[in-house]
Structure 1
């Protein structure tokens, strides 16, 4: 509704941690598009939250501003999904396919592709990657897995 999909973020962190991966967490240091009351699903007017601070609450580890993430310092990049991607990393949740993207998110995605490093995108995050790559030399292949019930291709 307003942030990372908690299960995708936490389960990914858990799996990487169990595999012994050195994890670097990053998020934009910006105010959220809006804050949502998760009991009602309605936006609240009385509470502004910072994306970096909220991400640290989920990650429970050191986290850096996305502006400081350098692709040469990591082996892969993973964007969990959730409405936060569609409202805070880009405006897809508001503007659809003609959305704007956080400049640091674009830089991270394009730098990852240029470095030929793995780029994992979950849930709504493939829309972020596709929009970031639009008009570049990169042709992305986006899938939703092999479940023929949700993707007959």
Structure 2
């Protein structure tokens, strides 16, 4: 599936779960999309394996304070407990998520990343899924939480964990095609 004219922002910071970044990014790169790492941090970011073990480092392409929704076709929010917790406390990151929803562009979030949707006040009334530890927070934010490998509600795509990456990646590519 060719999506060579699409540009996708990956919003993340230190502590991102490596496979939840590299798997969807690799799938989109392979399909011809341009992927861009957007972050409140500068320089390089330390990814993690399972929140405990250091993995690779990734270079930030665009500071979140300079990212504009009109420059991108979709937004991907990889998980990682530390990553998601830090992003939901960053005003520019939350504002960017809100802007993607206001523009009705695809937003894909996996694992702990849906926490950011609660902070951005865009989870209310939405069907979604996430890592089970965030379920109560999302329900309290008004979401309709489901235990499924991928849940699509309008422009929102969510998955639970790395075991769901094939379905997550396919759903993102389909939303862009």
Q: Shorter-chain TM-score category? A: 0.5 to 0.7
Cα offset, 1:86, TM superposition: 3.3
* Contact 2:29/2:35, CA 8 A, preserved across alignment: yes
Cα offset, 1:4, TM superposition: 0.3
* Contact 1:133/1:140, CA 8 A, preserved across alignment: no
Cα offset, 1:102, TM superposition: 0.8
Query: Counterpart in 2 of 1:106?
Result: 94
Query: Counterpart in 1 of 2:66?
Result: 68
2:34 to 22, 27, 30: 22
SS at match of 1:24: strand
Query: Counterpart in 1 of 2:82?
Result: 84
| 2:113 is equivalent to residue 115 of structure 1 | no
Alpha-carbon separation, structure 1, partners of 2:127 and 2:119 = 13
> How many residues are treated as equivalent by the alignment?
114
Which stretches of structure 1, 4 residues or longer, exceed 3 Å deviation after superposition?
none
Query: For each residue in 1:92-129, what CA deviation from the matched residue of structure 2 results, as whole angstroms up to 9, or x when unmatched?
Result: xxxxxxxxx21111111110000000111111011111
Query: For each residue in 1:72-106, what CA deviation from the matched residue of structure 2 results, as whole angstroms up to 9, or x when unmatched?
Result: 0000000100023233213xxxxxxxxxx211111
1:141 to 127, 138, 144: 127
After TM superposition, the score normalised by the length of structure 1 is: 0.62
Alpha-carbon separation, structure 2, partners of 1:16 and 1:129 = 22
* Contact 1:80/1:123, CA 8 A, preserved across alignment: yes
Cα offset, 1:22, TM superposition: 1.3
Cα offset, 1:146, TM superposition: 2.7
Q: Which structure's residues are more often strand, by fraction? A: 2
> Which one has the largest radius of gyration?
1
